Structure 1
Amino acid sequence: MAVFEGEQASERHAATKVTLIGMALDAALGLFKCVVGWVFHSQALVVDGIHSFSDVASDLLVLAIMRAARKGPDTDHPYGHQRFETLGTMVLGSFLLALGGALAWDNLQPLFSAPRELPLPGWPVLVIAALSVLSKEWIYRYTRRVGEAIRSDLIVANAWHSRTDAFSSIIVLIAVAGAMTGVSWLDAVAAVAVAVIIGHVGWRLTWSSVKELVDTALDTDTSQEIERIARGTEGVRNVHDLRSRRMGGDVLIDLHLMVSPVISVSEGHEIGVNAIQRIREAFPEIRDITFHIDAENDAGNEPHASDLPSRREVIQTLQSTWQDLLAPEALQTLRLHYLGRHISVEVFIHNPAAHANRFDTRALRERAAHLPWLGDVRVWTPPH
């Protein structure tokens, strides 16, 4: 637990640092863009500046969400708090979607209204747009590198938000250069294009978060590869009922492993542990794997109570059935195999001298033939 909390603290520190750097850069760019765009007659740069200020708002959201999302598991949240990160990503995406729609609507109206002479943008607009492209591309690369290192979808989403600012600044740069040649409506078209980019990123982030919140499974190729790795583990006969879901940057897996019905519980568990280890080596992002060991193929069937007798009931029934064939102590070490609608029984004779000429496998089967639940009967004796 201490190691986990240490990792969480380190990840929170890295996320906070890169977010604060990005927030300072966004605030400075937003201010310059809005002022220069207003003074030098570029509505596209003003919209781009509003986009930068939206980055500041998203940075504040990231700081708040990361503090909650990187807490360790507790009683109320035994799987951790990563879904807070997913929720934050959805809120950020919804905000961008609404912002893009509002800006697009506001800048479409002048294009369809009565034409009027618009002042041409000034050259400082080009300088600020170029500076924005370079700085936002840098912060995008830095933020994405940190987000991938700490496996945070929220930080990666924030990085892409920064890159949309770089894309929008490129559009502003090209459109303003065209508007300065006399085609004034290019600036308004660029403003609409920037708004569409903002809305598109918002939709992508919102939709991916919704899919995670409703426990959408991993893609088919990844699921098949996980099954292939598990099936290739020594002792695993088959794999079925693989279920997966994401929680923040982590993946949670449930699967059933079919093994031989005659091995011990501890051997079956060890086979399962080996399969899980191999899956984790191939997919480090998988944080939690719950496996179920099956003695037979029950794919697609829900576990249900059986009407077969319990171990205590089996021993009581066989004691009365075989009382003159086996010593009572032989029935205390029975190995039972519940397979289908029958119970196969293995009898271990540790002291053959105490059963001299009293037991015979065929006699045991014949005496118990009336028991509808009894399957195969095997008797094991120590070698002579």
Structure 2
Amino acid sequence: MPTRSSTVPGDWQMPRQDTSTTDTRAAHKVTLVGAVLDSILGVAKMIVGYAVGSAALVADGIHSFSDVATDAFVLAATHFGRQAPDHDHPYGHGRIETLGTLLLGSILIFVAGGIAWASLSRLIEGVAIAPPGPWAIALAVVALAGKEWIFRYTLRVARRIGSRLLEANAWHSRSDALSTVVVLVGLVGAQFGIEWLDAVAAIAVGLLVGHIGTSLLWDASRELIDTALPEDEQRGMRSLAQRVPGVRSVHKLRTRTLGGQVLLDLHLVVAPRVTVSEAHEIGNQVSRELCREYPRLADVTFHIDPQDDSNAPPPVKLSGLPLRADIEAALERAWGDMPVWQRRIALDLHYLDNRVDVSLYIPLGERHDLDTQARELRQAGEGLEWLGWLRIWQGPGKA
């Protein structure tokens, strides 16, 4: 016979300081710094490129300006993606950052294809590059240093605040730095008459940028389809939850990520007759322990089970047991003329093993043969198929 367990769901969010606004400001600051740097470098590259007749340097300047548009998109996505949950988005807006990461990953792949194709065409056609002179080479070196610095700065902030979108933008800056490497190789090669170095280096850079873009697309896609955390992290969470006093076992542990944060659902098996409030506090303690150990946990939803229902059919596929109102009506019909039922002061119901255990409380101090009265109640209730254990207690009962 399938096992039915009553479940008390709970939802627990880690009390924490308002770090969302601070993280958003940090993301905006590093993105604005990158936008200013891209604008300055774009203007300088185009001016010097036109002055020395370097088409590669002019193209690299246009690439820098395209990064400014990407920076503007990142600003908007981090602003809206890190807003607090609202009525329409109870889990927050983290998916906006995920979609932004998908877009930036796609842009990187597009840029990689463009770099590789253009360079391969130049290599096949044997396009000549005029000697650019020392000023163009010096500007390329400065641009390379600037883009590498903004890449490292952005990546450091992205990992500190857990933003995949900002990390994707950092790698986009690195792709610009790598394209500048290609330009620099081409400029130096043209200066010394080795023009084919530009095309070969560009093809290699294109492959590298494409690999980065593909990796970002893959990670963002996994997040969109609610891929679970690695198995070792899930085992650690389960082990930690089982060590909390009052928890007998843990099952149906499920995880997913949302904009760099982790959401967790799990079932906790506790003693079958503890009070609802005690069981719920056990769940709260599990949540506190988990959130302290795993800082990325933003939301924990736990279900309290009086027994392990991991192999039981879904509740919607079971016939269901009667609830209190129907049970009291059925017991009234069966026991209504019995004095012990008439003198009851409380009634507890426990849903266990696909049955309903009944605990009947009568006033303290009265003299009763409880065993005899329990047998009489059992005989009168023989037609109640759902009736499990039957107990009579003397005392004030439970609230």
Give TM class, smaller chain.
0.7 to 0.9
1:225-279 deviation line (CA, Å, top 9, x unaligned): 1111111111111111122221112211111111111111111111110101111
Match of 1:62 among 60, 74, 85: 74
Aligned residue number for residue 144 of structure 1: 155
Structure 2 residue 232 is the aligned partner of structure 1 residue 218: no
Give the whole-Å Cα distance in 1 for the aligned partners of 2:78 and 2:28.
8
The one-letter code matched in structure 2 to 1:31 is V
The one-letter code matched in structure 1 to 2:44 is F
Match of 1:373 among 380, 383, 386: 386
The one-letter code matched in structure 2 to 1:309 is P
Alpha-carbon offset, residue 165 of structure 1:
3.1
Match of 1:157 among 147, 157, 168: 168
Structure 2 residue 337 is the aligned partner of structure 1 residue 326: no
When residues 78 and 361 of structure 1 are mapped into structure 2, their CA distance, relative to the original with a 3 A threshold, is same
TM-score where L is the length of structure 2: 0.84
Structure 2 residue 275 is the aligned partner of structure 1 residue 264: yes
Aligned residue number for residue 361 of structure 2: 348
Match of 1:31 among 31, 43, 60: 43
When residues 142 and 170 of structure 1 are mapped into structure 2, their CA distance, relative to the original with a 3 A threshold, is same
Give the whole-Å Cα distance in 1 for the aligned partners of 2:382 and 2:271.
26
The one-letter code matched in structure 2 to 1:91 is L
Residues 45 and 191, structure 1, Cα contact 8 Å, conserved in 2: no
Residues 340 and 373, structure 2, Cα contact 8 Å, conserved in 1: no
Give the whole-Å Cα distance in 2 for the aligned partners of 1:329 and 1:138.
81
Match of 1:199 among 210, 226, 240: 210
When residues 340 and 38 of structure 1 are mapped into structure 2, their CA distance, relative to the original with a 3 A threshold, is farther
Structure 1's unaligned 5+ residue stretches are none
Alpha-carbon offset, residue 280 of structure 1:
0.4
Secondary structure at 1:183 match in 2: coil
Aligned residue number for residue 105 of structure 2: 93
- Deviates further, 374-383 or 9-18: 374-383
Residues 54 and 129, structure 2, Cα contact 8 Å, conserved in 1: no
Aligned residue number for residue 53 of structure 1: 65
The one-letter code matched in structure 2 to 1:257 is L
Alpha-carbon offset, residue 341 of structure 1:
1.9
Give the whole-Å Cα distance in 2 for the aligned partners of 1:295 and 1:358.
27
Give the whole-Å Cα distance in 2 for the aligned partners of 1:199 and 1:47.
19
Residues 140 and 162, structure 1, Cα contact 8 Å, conserved in 2: yes
Alpha-carbon offset, residue 116 of structure 1:
5.9
CA-based RMSD of the aligned residues comes to 3.0
Structure 2 residue 90 is the aligned partner of structure 1 residue 83: no
Aligned residue number for residue 20 of structure 1: 32
Structure 2 residue 262 is the aligned partner of structure 1 residue 251: yes
Alpha-carbon offset, residue 194 of structure 1:
2.8
Give the whole-Å Cα distance in 1 for the aligned partners of 2:124 and 2:113.
17
Match of 1:10 among 13, 17, 22: 22
When residues 275 and 238 of structure 1 are mapped into structure 2, their CA distance, relative to the original with a 3 A threshold, is same
Alpha-carbon offset, residue 36 of structure 1:
4.2
Match of 1:230 among 226, 241, 254: 241
Give the whole-Å Cα distance in 1 for the aligned partners of 2:212 and 2:58.
19
The one-letter code matched in structure 2 to 1:197 is L
- The number of residues matched between the two structures is 379
Aligned residue number for residue 108 of structure 1: 120
Alpha-carbon offset, residue 281 of structure 1:
0.4
- Deviates further, 311-320 or 167-176: 167-176
1:126-173 deviation line (CA, Å, top 9, x unaligned): 423332332223222322232233332212221222233334444554
Secondary structure at 2:307 match in 1: coil
Aligned residue number for residue 275 of structure 1: 286
1:279-314 deviation line (CA, Å, top 9, x unaligned): 100111111111111112121542225432222332
Alpha-carbon offset, residue 195 of structure 1:
2.8
1:188-213 deviation line (CA, Å, top 9, x unaligned): 12222333333332222222222212
The one-letter code matched in structure 2 to 1:100 is A
Secondary structure at 1:289 match in 2: strand
Alpha-carbon offset, residue 316 of structure 1:
3.3
When residues 359 and 251 of structure 1 are mapped into structure 2, their CA distance, relative to the original with a 3 A threshold, is same
Alpha-carbon offset, residue 78 of structure 1:
1.8
Give the whole-Å Cα distance in 2 for the aligned partners of 1:278 and 1:4.
14
Secondary structure at 2:366 match in 1: helix
Give the whole-Å Cα distance in 2 for the aligned partners of 1:50 and 1:130.
17
TM-score where L is the length of structure 1: 0.86
When residues 357 and 254 of structure 1 are mapped into structure 2, their CA distance, relative to the original with a 3 A threshold, is closer
Give the whole-Å Cα distance in 1 for the aligned partners of 2:193 and 2:371.
111
| Structure with higher RCO (Cα < 8 A, 6+ apart) | 2
Residues 133 and 169, structure 1, Cα contact 8 Å, conserved in 2: yes
Secondary structure at 1:334 match in 2: strand
Residues 326 and 359, structure 1, Cα contact 8 Å, conserved in 2: no
Residues 374 and 392, structure 2, Cα contact 8 Å, conserved in 1: yes
The one-letter code matched in structure 1 to 2:202 is A
Give the whole-Å Cα distance in 1 for the aligned partners of 2:299 and 2:83.
17
